[in-house]
Amino acid sequence: MLEVLAIAFTVFLVILSAAYARRFGIGKEIILAGTRALVQILILASIILILFQKPLYWSFPILIMMAAIAGYTTYSRSGKLEKGLPVAIFSITIASILMLIPFFLVGIFPVEARYIIPSGSIFIGNAMNVSSLAIDRYKGEIKNRRAEIETYLALGARPEIAAGACLKQGILSALIPSIDNMKNLGIVWIPGVMTGMLLGGADPMEAASIQIALFTSIFAAGMIASNLLLHFSTDSFFTKAAQLKEDMGQ
């Protein structure tokens, strides 16, 4: 009964939000996004329910699929740069793995599917969001600072040096929401993991400890993923002769 009420409430909110958003021209997009989200989360819940009854290794194909989809989403946000898809998948995957493994090595989480999949998806999703923001801003900065970059190139600077300020601004802009959230953690809002644990009857100190460990690790994963993505994507904006491509800044 609880599940039915929650789903009904979700459908009501999506329809209400879409109706209001029609004045901004995004009503249809909200309906599609909300419908996709509802269907996808129900499918995921069914898959996880099955995975809980399967051997542990079945969890990893699911995480690989999530990372691939996340990489494609970031790749699309970049304007589908040359070699952008493998770079996006690699950056998100590496950053997520680096931050996920310690939770199981030190024993914070037991090595079980019910912990691997949800925690892994949190890292992958956040790394995707930060990376998408970073590459979008990076691309915009390169377009806006074309003259400055070409001046550096004319003086003999390598593309990485010429675009260095743009890369820094891209990462900074992408991390600002996470930094603001970190500053207000526990004051303005209670994060999702801690909320879920408290609703499930967990000890508040235990919930808070796990949440802060997850939150800082998630932040680090986003920073690492965006840094890798922008670093390895830089060549896509330049020709083999180390010149800024003509379509940049047009």
Question: Is residue 123 within 8 Å of 224, Cβ to Cβ?
Answer: no
Q: What is the pLDDT of residues 125-165, one digit of tens each?
A: 999 999 999 999 999 999 988 889 888 888 888 988 989 99
The mean pLDDT value of the chain amounts to: 88
211 burial level (CB within 10 Å; 0-12, 13-18, 19+): buried
Q: What is the pLDDT of residues 218-235, one digit of tens each?
A: 999 999 999 999 999 998
| Segment among 56-65, 83-92, 193-202 with least mean pLDDT | 193-202
Task: Using the predicted structure, report yes or no on whether residue 182 has a pLDDT greater than 50.
Answer: yes
Q: What is the pLDDT of residues 25-76, one digit of tens each?
A: 888 899 999 999 999 888 888 887 887 787 888 888 889 999 999 999 999 9
pTM of the model: 0.82
Mean pLDDT of 92-102: 94
Task: Using the predicted structure, report yes or no on whether residue 249 has a pLDDT greater than 60.
Answer: no
Mean pLDDT of 186-191: 76
Q: What's the confidence (pLDDT) of residue 250?
A: 47
